[in-house]
Structure 1
Amino acid sequence: MLRHLTLSAALLALAAAPAPDPYMPGREIVTDLNKIVTANGVQETFETRLGGARQIVNVRGADKNNPILVFIHGGPASVEMPLAWSFQRPWEDYFTVVHWDQRGAGRSFPLNDQAALAPTLKPERYRDDTIELIEQLRQRYGKRKVVLMGLSWGSLVGLMVAEKRPDLLYAYVGVGQLIDFRENEVEGYNWTLAEARRRGDALAVKELQAIAPYPGPGAFDLQKLDIERKWNVAYGGLLWGRPDPQFYFHLGRLSPEYTLADRQAWDAGSAYTMKILWPQLADMSFKRLTRLDVPVVLLLGRHDTTTASTIAARWFAGLKAPKKRLVWFENSAHIPIFEEPGRTFAALLTEVRPLAQPGDDLPK
């Protein structure tokens, strides 16, 4: 929801002549640092088809006997693959971690015809893509189940998968968990406007009042979103204590998995996908979902007003599941994996890893 340019600007970037990547020396160092060298490790990137769309998948882990953790990135189209180098390496000693660029996102965006792709950009299609990917991974690596982890928009997709196919999952892990889109936007806006008034920020108050009522009735308005998120991010609703989180938006420059052209495709895909998907999400809600037949772990930032953690906590209190655990991150907003990476890793080890049964592989 945050990383997108205007469509015209993004397409111009794609059309520009190839240029040298000034970050190549740094990328080479990170590539060498993150190389998997263990005898039973896995480090591969491949293309597959999910729901008829070509999509790019990245798999990394120190031991193929470890359980698979499938990470559903946020956005829509805010890919995690080019950022994972900065936090994921410790995870790979305990999980085989899978990222993929969803339809219309990142490296997958230029692989498909835009006109053909547009009518497929619906939440249910992303859910079914995820299920199809899990089925492929089970066969490719000989696993019965996976851990599914969704961040932000990915948490919407993840809950849909957990509801439809709990038999595929050891556990569902939600980070920046979305429950009700319209309530989320109302609560986030109210907090942002109140914070602007508390700070005496006259420009912010003026701009925020100009988009009231926010988000308003009917389909969501992308221009209103841009204004609300500009001030929400500035006040720490995305990354707590970081009013200008440029490091987050630029981590991909050092990614071993992304070239300059890939980063341009990332921006273009985000603009394209948001334009189609964002208006559809106004009435998406999981308030009706009061039971899941799979263990559920939520990792919530105490200060998250991008996807309000207060809403997720209220929903979680009434949820019935075989096992459930809520872990609060007191110094985080929307993305604890960057804000409190050590505590995130500890939560995965203590709360999630024990839920994946050792030796529960498919017969060879």
Structure 2
Amino acid sequence: MHKKDNKLNRDSENNLCHIDTIEAIEIGDTQQWIALRSENTSNPIILFLHGGPGTAQIAFSRKAQQTLEKDFIVANWDQRGAGRSYSSKIKKDDMLIERFVLDAEELVESLLKRFKQKQLFLVGHSWGSIIGAHLAAKRPDLLWAYVGIGQVADMARGELLSYKFTIDEARRIGNKKAVRELEHIGEPPYVNLKAGGIQRKWLGKFGGQTVNGTAIGMVIKNITARDLGLLGLISFAKGAAFSLKNLEEQVNSVNLFQEVREIKVPVFFCCGRRDYNVPFELAVEYLEQLSAPHKEVIWFEHSAHSPNFEEPNVFHEFCLTKLKRCIV
């Protein structure tokens, strides 16, 4: 394991070990990067699976997650082909949902072994919630609980609901340009990424991605130079484009109603009341049908698709009051 920006200090008086490190680790025979932060390495682990595909979040996770570091080992992973883990050597044939689930499984096992823990908390955001749900169903023995944020359920139905919300909003407020562009691209499935981008552009303007500001603005606001790295922006941009191009078709065919019907650990869905990037109605419907020992929707009243970034204090409170109770 190669380390970069490594900070590991021990408080001898209280026997606490602080960690703040960004490291390269071999996962699935490929160099991938993880960030680990905590005030005490005996804390339970919470692993975040970022969205996108390709929206690697090591560079912009610190500010929103900082309060969690007192109570958890906060782990962020730039997935295969994304962010720090982007490389021109990544094989397109390895950009498969099944491969990402295997990568995540290997990472979880590595973290548990390293910190001498039995299980951890797995958090999947948007695209990451596809990986997360599959892994939670496959390896419940590794997890205390699974948390889905902007949880994917049925991508085809979700895209249609997202389009209808956007064009209905455009008509409601009388935005003729938006109506014209949305009518021109028509309902999904879209003919290409550009058409999908037009729909997402207007969705963002109408508050279906973030309640305040834009999704890009939210990322920029949270970026820290120390976590971005020397070639961070270049790797981020290249990785995002590469990941989306090679995973879009697979993502659009995902239907967890059929693929993941049971998860044998507690399941929590964090839903923004305004989320129409991955419409919250479908997440709620999916959770109702999912078999799990405990199921619960956590509502974020002032958020859309990224409640953990839009309302980080509410997310922290959820982690303290709900997740820690799952440890047995």
Name the TM-score, length of structure 1 as normaliser: 0.83
Correspondent of 1:102 among 56, 59, 79: 79
Is 1:113 aligned to 2:84, yes or no?
Answer: no
Q: Which residue of 2 aligns with 1:231?
A: 202
Residue 157 of structure 2 aligns to a residue in which SS?
Answer: helix
Distance 2:274 2:156 in 1: 19
Correspondent of 1:201 among 153, 158, 175: 175
Residue 291 of structure 1, CA deviation = 2.1
| CA offset digits 1:280-316 (Å, max 9, x no partner) | 2222111123321111011100110001011000111
Distance 1:339 1:102 in 2: 23
Distance 2:230 2:182 in 1: 35
The AA in structure 2 aligned to 1:102 is Q
Residue 323 of structure 1, CA deviation = 1.4
Distance 2:41 2:198 in 1: 45
Is 1:148 aligned to 2:122, yes or no?
Answer: yes
Q: Which residue of 1 aligns with 2:23?
A: 46
1:136 and 1:274, CA in 2 relative to 1: closer, same or farther beyond 3 A?
same
Is 1:177 aligned to 2:151, yes or no?
Answer: yes
What pairs with 1:65-80 in structure 2 (closer than 5 Å)? 65-80=42-57
Residue 48 of structure 1, CA deviation = 1.2
Q: Which residue of 1 aligns with 2:325?
A: 354
Distance 1:253 1:40 in 2: 26
Runs of 5+ unmatched residues, structure 1: 1-30, 358-364
Correspondent of 2:35 among 58, 61, 77: 58
What pairs with 1:257-276 in structure 2 (closer than 5 Å)? 257-276=227-246
Correspondent of 2:316 among 334, 338, 345: 345
Distance 2:266 2:221 in 1: 32
Q: Which residue of 2 aligns with 1:307?
A: 278
Residue 211 of structure 2 aligns to a residue in which SS?
Answer: coil
Is 1:323 aligned to 2:297, yes or no?
Answer: no
8 Å contact kept, 1:149–1:158: yes
Residue 168 of structure 1, CA deviation = 0.6
Q: Which residue of 2 aligns with 1:84?
A: 61
The AA in structure 1 aligned to 2:170 is A
Distance 2:105 2:325 in 1: 23
Residue 54 of structure 1, CA deviation = 0.9
Distance 2:76 2:186 in 1: 37
The AA in structure 1 aligned to 2:248 is W
Superposition misfits of 4+ residues, deviation over 4 angstroms: 34-38
Is 1:188 aligned to 2:162, yes or no?
Answer: yes
Distance 2:200 2:10 in 1: 41
8 Å contact kept, 1:55–1:108: yes
Residue 259 of structure 1, CA deviation = 2.4
1:129 and 1:170, CA in 2 relative to 1: closer, same or farther beyond 3 A?
same
Between 1 and 2, higher relative CO (CA 8 Å, sep ≥ 6) is seen in 1
Distance 2:236 2:56 in 1: 7
8 Å contact kept, 1:304–1:334: yes
Residue 96 of structure 1, CA deviation = 0.3
Residue 177 of structure 1 aligns to a residue in which SS?
Answer: coil
8 Å contact kept, 1:155–1:175: yes
8 Å contact kept, 2:158–2:279: yes
Q: Which moved more, 1:36-45 or 1:63-72?
A: 36-45
Structure (1/2) with the larger strand percentage: 2
The AA in structure 2 aligned to 1:158 is G
Distance 1:154 1:182 in 2: 17
Q: Which residue of 2 aligns with 1:11?
A: none
Distance 1:275 1:335 in 2: 22
The AA in structure 1 aligned to 2:322 is E
1:246 and 1:113, CA in 2 relative to 1: closer, same or farther beyond 3 A?
closer
Residue 40 of structure 1 aligns to a residue in which SS?
Answer: strand
Residue 319 of structure 1, CA deviation = 2.0
8 Å contact kept, 1:64–1:96: yes
Pairwise CA RMSD of aligned residues?
A: 1.9
| CA offset digits 1:323-360 (Å, max 9, x no partner) | 12211111111111122111111111111122123xxx
Distance 2:215 2:111 in 1: 34
1:253 and 1:173, CA in 2 relative to 1: closer, same or farther beyond 3 A?
closer
1:348 and 1:253, CA in 2 relative to 1: closer, same or farther beyond 3 A?
closer
Distance 1:257 1:130 in 2: 21
Distance 1:348 1:36 in 2: 25
Between the aligned residues of both structures, percent identity stands at: 33
Residue 180 of structure 1, CA deviation = 0.8
1:60 and 1:249, CA in 2 relative to 1: closer, same or farther beyond 3 A?
closer
1:127 and 1:195, CA in 2 relative to 1: closer, same or farther beyond 3 A?
same
